[in-house]
Amino acid sequence: MSVPVRRRSAAIVGGVAAALLLAACGGSGSGDNTTSAAPSSTNTDPACADYASYGSYPGTKVTIFTSILPPEQQKFESSWAQFEKCTGIDVVYEGSDQFEAQLPTRIQGGNAPDIAFIPQPGLLQKLVQQGGPKAAPQTVAANVDQFWNPAWKAYGTVNDTFYAAPLGSNMKSFVWYSPKVFAEKGYEVPTTWDAMFQLSDKMAADGIKPWCGGIESGGATGWPATDWIEQLVLRQQGGDVYDQWISHEVLFASPQIQEAFTTLEGWMRNPKYANAGFGDTKTIATTAFQDAGKPILSAKCGMLQQASFYAAQWPSFKKDVTIAEDGDIFAFYLPQIKADIPTPIVGGGEFVTAFADRPEVQAFQAYLSSDTFATLKVAAGGWVSANSGVPLETYTDPISQLSAKYLTDANATFRFDASDLMPAQVGAGSFWKEMTAFFAENKSVQATTEAIDASWPS
């Protein structure tokens, strides 16, 4: 069965205080429709008026299984506390650092959770092939149609059936820099690709290496360099070629993908540009990605291309570091290359996937896809949603707000991290390995791309 679509009737602004007040007052919006199959709420608490459309299911339970652990767990639980109170549904949260290994086992053993937070579309596709997930109800589809860039719904769809609504999101198309250094040197934040490399040349002339980078990450060494290639493929070729590349309809050794490698060669493997603070460009392969941005704070290098989640690293380099447009550190959007490819964005996120279709499970799915839930969760801090129903002023830090500004753009060319969508032996295997050799050994574009193609499963 379905439950009514939620709509937002009042803006939710401010920070955590406003969100908590909202929770106490029952959220925002009311159901557009009523479905006869949904039990009407018998809760007379005025704070539950706006939750009545979800129905009343006293004594029921919905289980969640996820890789997201405390302290983030507590923020999730607080964001649906009012929903639990008003619907009578007990939401039971279970997190595990062995999630991806345990979930298929639990499904095969008949012990599937009601809902799982799936970290990538590739896993969703595998689970659908095994017959596990249930199709999402129409109310969830309607919320996703209303609040998300269309690409997100496509990633939650397998064989033309929509299964999974997006949950949290991250923005990978950022360049980190120091506003204080830029102000001292008279540099302007570039808004075009050409301007970014004009700035790079100016920095080099001023004795500052413009770029620093690191791709060492233990068993995952190489992944930041795969992100660099993904940024370039999307900006140079657009979404259709990007999708064909993921499915290997377009090979790594094709001219389209080799163009991205050649551009990266002239960018991050250019001794004039990198690797500031660490040595020659070969040191990119041995520099921990966590440490890569540190020289920006001392003006040894100018910029680092890295995701929004890198914000967590800066306090480890400098106590009381300020992350702001006029602070020690901030980020700007990695500019587009071609005008006919609007706002290319590479990102990632989780998807809400159900393995049961009981009414209370569908009611909770609908809530998780609503702007009410997303706004409460955002207001708790440290989390970004691509849900456009969340007012930007709700975000409690400027990087999250900047991320949301781009992720909620319905006209942006958004694509999920490509390596996460490729077969594991490529996306988390040869792609990482060959990008490491690309820097450590100065391996040629031709040899690198052909080696990755050769590893693709038949």
Task: List domains and CATH numbers for the chain.
Answer: 16-171+346-414 (3.40.190.10), 174-345+418-454 (3.40.190.10)
Q: Do residues 23 and 376 make contact, with C-beta atoms less than 8 angstroms apart?
A: yes
Q: Do residues 316 and 345 make contact, with C-beta atoms less than 8 angstroms apart?
A: no
Q: Do residues 266 and 243 make contact, with C-beta atoms less than 8 angstroms apart?
A: no
Q: Do residues 153 and 145 make contact, with C-beta atoms less than 8 angstroms apart?
A: yes
Phi, psi (rounded to 5 degrees) for 188: -110, 145
Supply the pLDDT for residue 46: 83
Phi, psi (rounded to 5 degrees) for 322: -105, 120
* Host H or E run for residue 434: helix 431-440
Q: Do residues 234 and 346 make contact, with C-beta atoms less than 8 angstroms apart?
A: yes
Supply the pLDDT for residue 349: 95
What's the predicted TM-score (pTM) here? Answer: 0.88
The whole-angstrom separation of Cα 125 and Cα 117 is 14
Beta strands 174-177; 301-305: pairing state: antiparallel
Q: Residue 104: left (phi > 0), alpha (psi -120 to 50), or beta?
A: alpha
Count other Cβ atoms within 10 Å, centred on residue 141.
19
If you search the block for the tokens 């970004």, which residue do you land on? 384
Supply the pLDDT for residue 304: 98
> SS3 letters for 33-102?
CCCCCCCCCCCCCHHHHHHHHHCCCCCEEEEEEECCCCCHHHHHHHHCHHHHHHHCEEEEEEECCCHHHH
Residues 6+ apart with CB under 8 A from 85: 43, 45, 47, 48
Q: How far apart are the first and last CA of the chain?
A: 41
The whole-angstrom separation of Cα 184 and Cα 57 is 61
Segments in the chain below pLDDT 50: 1-37
Q: Where are the beta strands (DSSP E) in 264-324?
A: 301-305
The whole-angstrom separation of Cα 281 and Cα 166 is 38
Residues 6+ apart with CB under 8 A from 279: none
Q: In a 3-state reduction of DSSP, which class is residue 232?
A: helix
The whole-angstrom separation of Cα 422 and Cα 242 is 12
One-letter amino acid of 168 = G
If you search the block for the tokens 């800066």, which residue do you land on? 314
Instruction: Give tens-digit pLDDT for 285-311.
Output: 999 999 999 999 999 999 999 999 999
Token pair of 446, please? 């031709």
Supply the pLDDT for residue 49: 87
Burial of 71 (0-12, 13-18, 19+ CB in 10 A): exposed
Task: Residue 297: name the closest of 215, 181, 399 by CA.
Answer: 181
The whole-angstrom separation of Cα 433 and Cα 453 is 13
Q: Do residues 242 and 234 make contact, with C-beta atoms less than 8 angstroms apart?
A: yes
The whole-angstrom separation of Cα 297 and Cα 210 is 13
Supply the pLDDT for residue 40: 54
Burial of 215 (0-12, 13-18, 19+ CB in 10 A): buried
* Host H or E run for residue 402: helix 398-407
Q: Which residues of 447-458 are buried (b: 16+ CB within 10 A; e: fewer)?
A: ebbebbbeeeee
Q: Do residues 60 and 363 make contact, with C-beta atoms less than 8 angstroms apart?
A: no
The whole-angstrom separation of Cα 432 and Cα 437 is 9
